[in-house]
C-alpha cells in the first residue's frame, strides 16, 4: 500500500491514505523552530521587492534577513553552501543604517553602495527596503573592475599566452 503525505503550510502533514494529520518532520520547520524558540525580539517591518512584486514583512532583529524571509515563505535567491557566494545579495534602497552587516566578505565601498548579503545581515531598525535578486549586479560591482583590469593587462602584454587563435574557418 502506497502512503501519500502532503505538507500543510510547513507545520503539519496530511496522510492521504488514512486522513490522519500529524506534525511535519523537524527538518521542514527547523528555521521556524529555531526562530520561535528564541527569546522575544523586536521585529521591524521591511518592504521587500522580488521580481517586481512588493511585500512588507516583519523581520526579527538578530535573525538573518534570509532566514526571516524564508520564514515568511518568500523564495529569496541564494546558493549558500553551494559555492556560489553573493547569490543572496540584495540592494538596500532605504535606511541602510538600519541594516547590520555581519559579513566581512564585501568590500566596504560595495556595502556603502547599499549591497548586502542576506545570509549574514540582519535588520536592526525600522523602514528598511530591500530589492532581492541583485547577485549579478553585486558581483559585477565587487569583482568587475578587478576582472576588467586583469583582462586589459593581459591584452596589453605580449607573450606566449596571448597568441591569437588561428583562423580555422577556411575563409
Q: What phi, psi does 48 have (nearest 5°)? A: -120, 130
Looking at residues 74-96, what average pLDDT do you find? 85
Cα separation, 76 vs 53, in Å, equals 12
Q: What is the pLDDT of residue 17?
A: 57
pLDDT, one tens digit per residue, over 156-166 is: 545 444 445 56
Q: What is the pLDDT of residue 129?
A: 95
Q: What is the pLDDT of residue 130?
A: 93
Cα separation, 58 vs 46, in Å, equals 6
Using the CB atoms, write b or e for 97-128: b if 16+ within 10 Å: ebbebeeeebeeebbebbbbbbbbbbbbeeeb
Percent of the chain exceeding pLDDT 70 equals 58
Confidence of residue 83 (pLDDT cuts 50, 70, 90): confident
Comparing 48 with 139, the larger pLDDT belongs to: 48
All structural domains of the chain with their residue ranges: 1-37, 40-156
CATH classification for the domain delimited by 40-156, as one of 2.160.20.80, 3.40.50.720, 3.90.79.10, 3.10.20.30: 3.10.20.30
Q: What is the pLDDT of residue 141?
A: 82
* 68 CB neighbour count, 10 Å cutoff: 26
Cα separation, 157 vs 171, in Å, equals 29
pLDDT exceeds 60 at position 97: yes
Looking at residues 16-31, what average pLDDT do you find? 49
Amino acid at each position: 500500500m502506497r502512503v501519500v503525505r502532503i505538507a500543510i503550510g510547513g507545520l503539519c502533514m496530511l496522510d492521504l491514505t488514512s486522513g490522519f494529520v500529524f506534525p511535519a518532520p523537524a527538518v521542514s520547520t527547523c528555521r521556524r523552530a529555531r526562530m520561535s524558540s528564541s527569546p522575544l525580539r523586536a521585529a521591524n517591518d521591511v518592504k521587500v521587492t522580488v521580481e517586481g512584486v512588493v511585500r512588507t514583512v516583519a523581520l526579527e532583529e538578530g535573525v538573518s534577513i534570509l532566514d526571516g524571509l524564508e520564514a515568511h515563505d518568500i523564495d529569496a535567491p541564494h546558493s549558500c553552501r553551494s559555492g556560489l557566494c553573493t547569490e543572496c545579495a540584495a540592494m538596500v534602497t532605504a535606511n541602510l543604517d538600519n541594516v547590520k552587516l555581519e559579513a566581512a566578505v564585501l568590500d566596504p565601498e560595495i556595502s556603502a553602495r547599499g549591497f548586502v548579503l542576506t545570509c549574514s545581515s540582519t535588520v536592526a531598525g525600522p523602514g528598511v527596503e530591500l530589492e532581492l535578486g541583485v547577485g549579478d549586479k553585486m558581483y559585477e560591482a565587487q569583482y568587475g573592475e578587478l576582472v576588467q583590469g586583469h583582462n586589459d593587462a593581459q591584452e596589453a602584454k605580449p607573450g606566449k599566452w596571448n597568441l591569437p587563435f588561428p583562423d580555422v574557418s577556411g575563409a
